[in-house]
């Protein structure tokens, strides 16, 4: 009975629940409401006495001795900057004090995040058991606030309030981000996840479509989320792999997350904005998204079902592009060693050889218009001349693929860490959800080192205590109708998903469209159909878009725009202000479905940055089909 209650609380925090089930969040507390208050010593200097006050948004620290502070300086720890906490005990049996440690990543003077550790000594009682209970009370309350778990109004705060640690499958593309993805993972992501007390297994992908094949063989009930550490391409593989399973209706509900370790980090930029952080790039963006992941919380994610000229389907979480954007995306592959700078270089090259493309764009307008990106400027509309009742597309049978992967445990070799002047080695960093690294807490010679004192002991079903179900091995099964498109001009086949829901709004490609559609024909410089707000980590293409607004946001630029005007649009897109420029060639429309028919014989089409076959395509939004690990939404109110 206790296990069932804890799992229910876990689903509230991490969002992995049946869609029909509704759980009301706890009533909101004022930002300055004191939840806990007490006096503690500081570690490693126990003579420094501190008064701690915990509120729903921050931990306030005030020095009491040796010299009290009338106005605390630097004594505010925002929970948005906390990755996790833990309780510790001294290795000296005569020490009756207990300890709890908080791991934070505040911004420095140069705006970059740096790790800071705060360790507090609970020593107000005569016995260790009483001091331990007080340390665990604070650590439990802080963990509940971080993960969005309700605190009892007048009840006792004990570690029984905490569920088992969430279990995450981490998929790392070691070649992402100019080959830095694996280094960033080891140096930044894994320590933070361990500090948060999350359980995980980590697998490195070895080739294109490896992640797609891998998720088809997973026992998804054993995982609370799948997180990719790469660019947007790896998540594209994961989502299409989930939708290619025979049980796709349940599989696609598995929460997925992204930690930006690649060149194209558009979805991470949208997650960063949703979390209330300022725009960031590189390591700062990675740390922001890691902090949000550590706190848990998910959000429904719209997915776009894209039907290609051959009749194959794939699912998009990001964008469909034609023209200038897709040209830059694919041409930049030649300069992948430059990282994100490759997009800037190819944008400049694309402006120098600006092309226009003849085509026809049709779309089904949204029933309810979203807030206009620029109320001061009207956007053009057109009337459709094509009318015919749609016919539903027939379902396509498929067969899953399976590849062998490594299973738990996955230890990484690490050198032994020794504290200065201490004869005992420090605890190693556990890569499967164990205690975090404590090297920053040592005081030096003569101080007894501390050891982890976990709040929630490992349960028999946790990944650390027992191996999970193995992932099925075997050669990939090739169905009669191939799951891969014809090779792209580069020779690499592009995986598509024949599973997933039917597109009830779309007639078959090549047949007339039903009434109510808008059709435009002419010369285009670019056409972009985007679901989230960001086209890149620093490009806000649809600033008003939300993860679950049920819309695809169509942006296109007509022919006749000058190179200077187009450059000005992309520069303004860094702040999401391009619609306010009043450019007559820039058009926008929210839609539920669209069809694109290129009339130029040659060109490039991309789905989520991946090149697909060139020709007519159409797409429909499936609202809230997926689930995205976003962390809690950001708050504009900050404590003084």
Q: Which of 7, 45, 154, 232 is catalytic?
A: 232
Confidence of residue 599 (pLDDT cuts 50, 70, 90): very high
Question: Which residues make beta-bridge pairs with 170?
Answer: 202, 227
232 in active site: yes
Q: Residue 372: pLDDT above 70?
A: no
**HSE-up (13 A, CA, CB side) for residue 319:** 33
CA pair distance 213, 205, nearest whole angstrom: 10
Q: What angle, 0 to 180 degrees and rounded to 10, lies between the N-to-C axes of helices 282-295 and 128-147?
A: 110
Q: Residue 378: pLDDT above 90?
A: no
CA pair distance 205, 212, nearest whole angstrom: 10
What is the CA 553 to chain-centroid distance, rounded? 21
State both tokens at 241.
Answer: 């792999």
**Average pLDDT over every residue of 597-605:** 92
Other beta carbons less than 10 A from residue 344's beta carbon: 14
Q: Residue 269: pLDDT above 50?
A: yes
Query: Taking all residues of the chain, what is their mean pLDDT, rounded to a whole number?
Result: 76
Q: Are 354 and 463 in contact (CB under 8 A)?
A: no
> DSSP for 95-157?
---EEEEEEE--B-TTS-B--EEEEEEE-SSSSHHHHHHHHHHHHHHHHHHHHTPPPPSSS--
**HSE-up (13 A, CA, CB side) for residue 568:** 12
Q: Are 211 and 227 in contact (CB under 8 A)?
A: no
- pLDDT at residue 380, rounded to an integer: 36
Confidence of residue 132 (pLDDT cuts 50, 70, 90): very high
Q: Are 38 and 61 in contact (CB under 8 A)?
A: no
**Average pLDDT over every residue of 47-58:** 91
CA distance to 254, 307, 502, per residue, from 625 (Å): 10, 17, 12
Q: Residue 460: pLDDT above 50?
A: no
Q: Which helix (H) or strand (E) holds 270?
A: helix 266-274
- pLDDT at residue 597, rounded to an integer: 96
CA pair distance 264, 261, nearest whole angstrom: 9
Confidence of residue 110 (pLDDT cuts 50, 70, 90): confident
- pLDDT at residue 324, rounded to an integer: 84
Q: Residue 486: pLDDT above 60?
A: no
- pLDDT at residue 74, rounded to an integer: 56
Q: Residue 637: pLDDT above 70?
A: no
Q: Residue 27: pLDDT above 60?
A: no
- pLDDT at residue 398, rounded to an integer: 31
Q: Based on DSSP, count helices (H) and strands (E) in the chain, helices before strands.
A: 13, 24
- pLDDT at residue 390, rounded to an integer: 30
State both tokens at 171.
Answer: 């998929």
> DSSP for 189-244?
IHHHHHHTT-EEEEEE--STTHHHHHHHT--GGG-SEEEEEESHHHHHHHHHHHHT
**Average pLDDT over every residue of 233-246:** 94
- pLDDT at residue 554, rounded to an integer: 96
Cis bond upstream, residue 44 (ω within 30) = yes
CA pair distance 10, 420, nearest whole angstrom: 40
- Measuring CA to CA, which residue among 461, 466, 105 is closest to residue 286? 105
Q: Residue 636: pLDDT above 70?
A: no
Q: Residue 483: pLDDT above 60?
A: no
Other beta carbons less than 10 A from residue 301's beta carbon: 24
Confidence of residue 386 (pLDDT cuts 50, 70, 90): very low
CA pair distance 231, 34, nearest whole angstrom: 41
- pLDDT at residue 589, rounded to an integer: 95
**Average pLDDT over every residue of 41-63:** 90
Confidence of residue 73 (pLDDT cuts 50, 70, 90): low
Cis bond upstream, residue 499 (ω within 30) = no
Q: Residue 314: pLDDT above 70?
A: yes
Q: Are 231 and 260 in contact (CB under 8 A)?
A: yes
- pLDDT at residue 344, rounded to an integer: 64
Confidence of residue 520 (pLDDT cuts 50, 70, 90): very high
- pLDDT at residue 449, rounded to an integer: 63
CA pair distance 462, 468, nearest whole angstrom: 8
- pLDDT at residue 399, rounded to an integer: 29
State both tokens at 349.
Answer: 């090259």
Q: Which helix (H) or strand (E) holds 52?
A: strand 49-54
Share of the chain above pLDDT 70, in %: 69
Confidence of residue 365 (pLDDT cuts 50, 70, 90): very high
CA pair distance 553, 125, nearest whole angstrom: 60
Q: Residue 567: pLDDT above 90?
A: no
pTM for this prediction? 0.78
Confidence of residue 338 (pLDDT cuts 50, 70, 90): low
- pLDDT at residue 82, rounded to an integer: 95
Share of the chain above pLDDT 90, in %: 48
Q: What is the pLDDT of residues 275-303, one digit of tens each?
A: 999 999 989 999 999 999 999 999 999 99
């Amino acid at each position: 009975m206790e296990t069932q209650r804890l799992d229910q609380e876990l689903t509230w925090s991490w969002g992995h629940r049946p869609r029909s089930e509704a759980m009301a969040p706890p009533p909101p507390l004022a930002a300055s409401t004191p939840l806990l208050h007490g006096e503690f010593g500081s570690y490693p200097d126990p003579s420094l006495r501190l008064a701690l006050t915990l509120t729903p948004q921050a931990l306030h620290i005030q020095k009491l001795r040796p010299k009290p502070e009338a106005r605390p300086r630097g004594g505010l720890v925002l929970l948005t900057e906390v990755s996790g906490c833990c309780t510790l005990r001294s290795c000296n049996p005569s020490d009756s004090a207990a300890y709890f440690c908080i791991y934070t990543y505040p911004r420095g003077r140069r705006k970059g995040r740096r790790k800071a550790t705060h360790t507090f000594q609970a020593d107000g009682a005569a016995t260790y058991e009483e001091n331990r209970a007080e340390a665990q009370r604070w650590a439990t309350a802080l963990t509940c606030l971080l993960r969005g778990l309700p605190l009892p109004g007048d009840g006792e705060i004990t570690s029984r309030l905490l569920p088992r640690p969430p279990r995450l499958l981490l998929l790392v593309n070691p070649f992402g981000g100019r080959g830095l993805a694996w280094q960033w993972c080891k140096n930044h992501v894994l320590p933070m996840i361990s500090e948060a007390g999350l359980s995980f297994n980590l697998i490195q992908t070895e080739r294109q479509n490896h992640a797609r094949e891998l998720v088809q063989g997973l026992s998804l009930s054993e995982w609370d989320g799948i997180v990719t550490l790469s660019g947007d391409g790896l998540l594209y593989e994961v989502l299409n792999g989930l939708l290619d399973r025979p049980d796709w209706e349940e599989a696609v509900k598995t929460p997925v997350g992204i930690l930006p370790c690649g060149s194209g980090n558009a979805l991470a930029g949208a997650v960063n904005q949703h979390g209330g952080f300022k725009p960031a790039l590189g390591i700062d963006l990675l740390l922001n998204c890691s902090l949000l992941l550590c706190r848990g919380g998910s959000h429904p994610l719209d997915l776009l079902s894209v039907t290609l000229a051959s009749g194959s389907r794939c699912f998009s979480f990001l964008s469909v592009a034609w023209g200038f954007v897709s040209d830059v995306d694919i041409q930049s592959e030649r300069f992948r060693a430059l990282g994100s700078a490759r997009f800037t270089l190819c944008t400049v090259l694309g402006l120098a050889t600006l092309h226009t493309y003849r085509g026809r764009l049709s779309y089904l307008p949204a029933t309810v218009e979203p807030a206009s990106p620029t109320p001061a400027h009207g956007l053009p509309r057109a009337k459709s001349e094509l009318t015919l009742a749609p016919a539903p597309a027939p379902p396509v049978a498929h067969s899953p693929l399976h590849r062998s992967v490594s299973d738990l445990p996955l230890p990484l070799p690490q050198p032994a860490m020794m504290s200065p002047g201490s004869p005992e080695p420090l605890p190693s960093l556990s890569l499967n959800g164990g205690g975090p690294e404590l090297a920053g807490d040592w005081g030096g010679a003569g101080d007894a080192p501390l050891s982890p004192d976990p709040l929630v002991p490992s349960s028999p079903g946790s990944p650390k205590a027992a191996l999970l179900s193995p992932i099925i091995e075997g050669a990939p099964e090739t169905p009669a109708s191939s799951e891969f498109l014809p090779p792209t001009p580069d020779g690499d086949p592009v995986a598509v998903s024949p599973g997933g829901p039917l597109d009830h709004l779309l007639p078959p490609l090549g047949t007339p469209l039903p009434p109510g559609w808008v059709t435009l024909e002419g010369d285009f410089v670019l056409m972009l159909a985007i679901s989230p707000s960001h086209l890149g980590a620093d490009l806000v293409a649809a600033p008003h878009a939300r993860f679950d607004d049920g819309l695809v946001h169509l942006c296109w630029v007509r022919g006749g725009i000058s190179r200077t005007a187009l450059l000005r649009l992309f520069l303004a897109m860094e702040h999401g202000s391009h619609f306010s420029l009043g450019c007559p060639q820039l058009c926008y429309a929210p839609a539920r479905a669209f069809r694109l028919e290129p009339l130029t014989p040659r060109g490039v089409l991309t789905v989520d940055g991946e090149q697909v076959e060139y020709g007519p395509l159409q797409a429909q939004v499936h609202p809230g089909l997926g689930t995205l690990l976003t962390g809690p939404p950001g708050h504009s109110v900050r404590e003084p």
